[in-house]
Amino acid sequence: MMYATQPDLSETHALALTGTNGYAIQGDRVVITASEIANNRAAGDISGTVAIELWALPQPYRGGDFSGVAVAGTRIGELFGQHFLADCRYDLLFDEPGPGTWYLTLMLREWTGAGYVTRDHVNFSQPDVVSRKPVVQGKVDNVINVSFSAKDKAAPEPRAEAPAIQPEPAKPAAKAKPDNRAVSLNQASLGDIAALKGVSVKLAETIVASRPFASFEELLNIKGMGPKLLDKLRKFVRL
């Protein structure tokens, strides 16, 4: 389990992560914990939809714009002013980043109508080093050894020519099954959608916030999604 302690920054952060925060990676899952998630705004000042996200960045986060890989995240909902959530624990899917040295950052983000904005963050000091996985070739277990006797090696006896066999009529081609490898825009994680060619992190966030979609045409209502980009994505995505 990796932990980081966040000081009380209620005077500088409207939405804040305070106390001890941590994460534990267990295979393809990660457990994120936070002592407190608070809305320090005035009473009655309700936040936008709040999300907690774990990002893998090439360097520690210093604020402002950033580029990295969203490895886990979930939406929490809205928080009333002067209210907080205590002893938070989230068991989420973990999307491991590619090979390299990554700095993991826990971000508290808020939906503003134009996209998610980072309101507070916690950097974890221990970098996560992801090694390139070697390709292991399996043993060959289908080799068949055949020995021939002297009689077997003799020239085969001539035999009558077999009658020609009429070819069977061609069977109609089976309908192609849907490609389960396609990324589901209604169910995939933020990281999987952002990994699609031509899709920015901001556009991926808007897609996640706008779903579910009943048809591909509804995607054209999203800012940043044009007909050309949608045509390119159709072969790689599904609803």
pLDDT digits (tens, 9 = 90+) for 176-207: 444 556 888 888 888 888 888 888 888 888 88
Q: Where in the chain is the domain with CATH 2.60.40?
A: 2-130
- pLDDT over threshold 70, residue 146: no
d(CA 105, CA 181): 29
d(CA 110, CA 91): 20
Which tops the pLDDT comparison, 134 or 116? 116
d(CA 18, CA 6): 5
Share of the chain above pLDDT 90, in %: 38
Which tops the pLDDT comparison, 75 or 152? 75
What's the pLDDT at 137? 57
d(CA 50, CA 162): 77
Q: Where in the chain is the domain with CATH 1.10.150.320?
A: 183-238
Beta bridge mates, 102 = 128
pTM: 0.54
Q: What is the mean pLDDT of residues 14-22?
A: 92
What's the pLDDT at 172? 52
Q: What is the mean pLDDT of residues 144-168?
A: 50
Q: 2-130 has which fold?
A: Immunoglobulin-like (2.60.40)
Which overall architecture, per CATH, does domain 183-238 show? Orthogonal Bundle (1.10)
